[in-house]
Amino acid sequence: MNIGDMTDEAPGVRTFRLNFSNEEEGNKFQFQTGQFGLYSVFGAGESTFCIASSPTKKDYIECTFREAGRVTKALRELNIGDTIGFRGPYGNMFPIEKWEGKNLVFVAGGIALPPLRSVIWNCLDLRDKYKNITIIYGAKTVADLVYKDELKEWNARKDVSLVTTVDPGGETPDWAGKIGFVPTVVEETAPDSKDTIAIVCGPPIMIKFTLPVLEKLGFKQDKVYTTLENRMKCGLGKCGRCNIGCTYVCKEGPVFTAEEISKMPDEF
Amino acid sequence: MEKLLNKNSFDSLITGLKKQGYKTIAPKKDNKLVTLEEIQDANEISLDHVITNNSIKEFFFPKTEKILSYTIEKNKVEMEEPEGFAVKSVIFGSRPCDAFSLPVMDKVFNWDCSDKFWVERREAITIVTVACDKCDSYCFCTSVGLAPDAKQGSDVLLTKISNDEYLVETVTEKGENLVKELESVFSDPPSGTPDRQVATVEKKFEIDKVKPWLDDNFQHNVWDEFSYKCIGCGACTFVCPTCHCFDIVDECTMTKGDRVKNWDGCQFTMFTMHTSGHNPRSTQGMRWRQRIMHKFKYYVEKFHSTLCVGCGRCSRVCPADMNISEMLEIISTDKGQPEPVTKE
């Protein structure tokens, strides 16, 4: 793939818009929201990221990553026009057909908005199929919020209810959003659980605190979805690295319901 | 098909295999160590050992192999997939435990999509197994449902019937074709009932009792107790015929490189560590739990097969003298079982 465009979202966080180097392959490529791929810098290695763009957008895919290690550092050193490798799509998908006719509540924290951004846009591009859409998104500080332009776009839409928050101490003088940890803000916002699907993504600690809040608000475990991450290498269920108990995150996930997670051993 | 093979015919066998275009891998003795490796002459073959130091795994799933090669020139990347890695071979002198690891590993390497590096080698290699006429205290094949003269996974099974003679039984079509190709090497089967010299391997534990205990004891102080002396060297995972975890890394210069698949092991600290520093298995107890759970519970649930063939290599090679069959004996029996402790 080659890098068609790039955006700096937050300190250390960048989005790539990737075009297919081979047009024929690009035309054949299809994926479903929730799936991921392995992106590589030839010479540095591979890294696993979700596909952060919606499948409704043809001709390109996007990924968002934070510079944290060897491969992501090499990715950040690349320029527009440079070539990277991609293999995918792997994994399962968000079952958005099952959610038709329902309200959707998306809850994300920090760098975990990218996996949800794909499904948010997929649902917004099919807006008529869903009832109320609420997005609750928070980060450590204002600067750490990603997709700042899209947040403005979602905020301006009349058919989306957006709540943004930063951790206490992370606000700037002109911050107009909420101040508080995401699980607390979810509790305050108190989305109605009737006929509603909740989709949550965040660092393990945020998920661990948000799931009980949703349960308290009346969300049944099979109506709460999340997407998990684990260290991956092959992405196809062979190398034996990403399993949580019996479940391979790369093959049987990364999308799981809270009910499925409750049956997994506490090993993630 | 049944035939007879005399030790005196080993020379013709190896010469015949070469003529038919096979590479021959057999146990070779070097001082006290017996290792499966490529041989050129029949006099290199040694068959009086209990088990070889290495398993046959590395001939199907090498320690390291290129899965992609690339050249980089002014931002243009040319990729090349490897070819010719599956070489027509015969492994002469595998043990039944090793041979059985192949259908076990077939399951994961063909799960949903096939690993061509495994599949093509499986097609290219013929397994001639020699049944065990002796065993040692580390062997426990009978505890995992196998036997020292089991046939599953082999193409041909040889069983000693006298000092110089082996009964030859073909198990698969591939094995039958091999014996037919080298017809002159074999003689007619013995008349009467041959005196098969097969070891008696004492059963150490009831495998049926292991999984039910594992189902209920993800949290248990036994995991820390079992792994207290483990130094995380990973030797057990490397010598094990059914351990198959691997790593994928790039190795390169400025203008060309390879993407390489290397053996890895769940006993290493870094195995599951995230870049953020978060590690789902941060203690050796958790990693040891993963080893036992994977082999005796997860693989059973997923593929209806135990991921262990009872060869005992892990225990033989462990520098800390840990013994997997002793642990399974504790897990599967009522007496000597540690008191469960609810632990976070």
CATH code for position A84: 2.40.30.10
Chain A residues within 8 A of B111 when measuring between CB atoms: 237-238, 251
Together in a domain, A70 and A169 = no
Together in a domain, B168 and B226 = no
Q: How confident is the model at residue B76 (pLDDT cuts 50, 70, 90)?
A: confident
B264: closest chain A residue by CA:
A239
Tell me the pairing of strands B125-130 and B156-160.
parallel
Domain annotation covers residue B199: no
Domain annotation covers residue A236: no
Q: How confident is the model at residue B340 (pLDDT cuts 50, 70, 90)?
A: low
| Whether A240 and B245 lie within 8 Å, measured CB to CB | yes
Looking at the structure of chain A, the number of domains it has is 2
Together in a domain, A112 and A27 = no
B299: closest chain A residue by CA:
A246
Looking at the structure of chain B, the number of domains it has is 2
Together in a domain, A116 and A196 = yes
Q: Please, which residues have CB within 8 angstroms of residue A15's CB and are 6 or more apart in sequence?
A: A6, A7, A9, A52, A62, A63, A64, A114, A146, A147
Together in a domain, B54 and B144 = yes
**For residue B343, pLDDT beyond 50:** no
Rounded distance, CA B179 to CA B184, Å?
Answer: 9
Q: Report the complex ipTM.
A: 0.90
Together in a domain, A78 and A100 = no
Together in a domain, A70 and A127 = no
B209: nearest Cα among B308, B328, B290, B303: B328
* Coil, helix or strand at residue A61: strand
- Mean pLDDT (whole number) for A65-85: 94
Region of B125 (left: φ > 0; alpha: ψ -120 to 50; beta: rest) is beta
Together in a domain, B86 and B149 = yes
Together in a domain, B31 and B96 = yes
Q: How confident is the model at residue B32 (pLDDT cuts 50, 70, 90)?
A: confident
**For residue B341, pLDDT beyond 70:** no
Together in a domain, B153 and B64 = yes
B295: closest chain A residue by CA:
A246
Entry pTM: 0.93
CA distance A169 to chain B (A): 22
Together in a domain, A210 and A135 = yes
* Domain, as residue range, for B30: 2-185
Domain annotation covers residue A263: no
Together in a domain, A40 and A153 = no
CA distance A232 to chain B (A): 8
Chain A residues within 8 A of B72 when measuring between CB atoms: 42-43
> For testing the chain B interface, which of A232, A243, A247, A262 should be mutated: the one with the most B CBs within 10 Å?
A243
| Closest residue to A83, CB basis, from B77, B257, B280 | B77
Together in a domain, A117 and A55 = no
Interchain CB contact of A140 with B (< 8 Å):
no
Dump pLDDT digits (tens) for B145-156. 999 999 999 999
Domain annotation covers residue B154: yes
Domain annotation covers residue B324: yes
Tell me the percentage of chain B whose pLDDT exceeds 70: 97
Domain annotation covers residue A141: yes
**For residue B338, pLDDT beyond 80:** no
Domain annotation covers residue A200: yes
Interchain CB contact of A12 with B (< 8 Å):
no
* Domain, as residue range, for A144: 96-227
Q: Please, which residues have CB within 8 angstroms of residue B154's CB and are 6 or more apart in sequence?
A: B94, B96, B99, B127, B128, B129, B171, B172, B175
Chain A residues within 8 A of B214 when measuring between CB atoms: none
Together in a domain, A177 and A115 = yes
Together in a domain, A82 and A130 = no
Together in a domain, B236 and B291 = yes
Domain annotation covers residue B161: yes
Beta-bridged to residue B69, according to DSSP, are: B80, B258
Together in a domain, A80 and A180 = no
Interchain CB contact of B264 with A (< 8 Å):
yes
Together in a domain, B222 and B107 = no
Chain B residues within 8 A of A244 when measuring between CB atoms: 280
| Whether A251 and B249 lie within 8 Å, measured CB to CB | no
Together in a domain, A122 and A86 = no
| Whether B245 and A241 lie within 8 Å, measured CB to CB | yes
Q: How confident is the model at residue B334 (pLDDT cuts 50, 70, 90)?
A: low
Domain annotation covers residue B282: yes
Q: How confident is the model at residue A204 (pLDDT cuts 50, 70, 90)?
A: confident
Domain annotation covers residue B339: no
State the pLDDT at residue B254: 86
CATH code at A191?
A: 3.40.50.80
Q: How confident is the model at residue B73 (pLDDT cuts 50, 70, 90)?
A: confident
Domain annotation covers residue B196: no
Rounded distance, CA B222 to CA B33, Å?
Answer: 34
Together in a domain, B282 and B180 = no
Domain annotation covers residue A246: no
Chain B residues within 8 A of A249 when measuring between CB atoms: none
State the pLDDT at residue B339: 57
Domain annotation covers residue B69: yes
Interchain CB contact of A267 with B (< 8 Å):
yes
Domain annotation covers residue A253: no
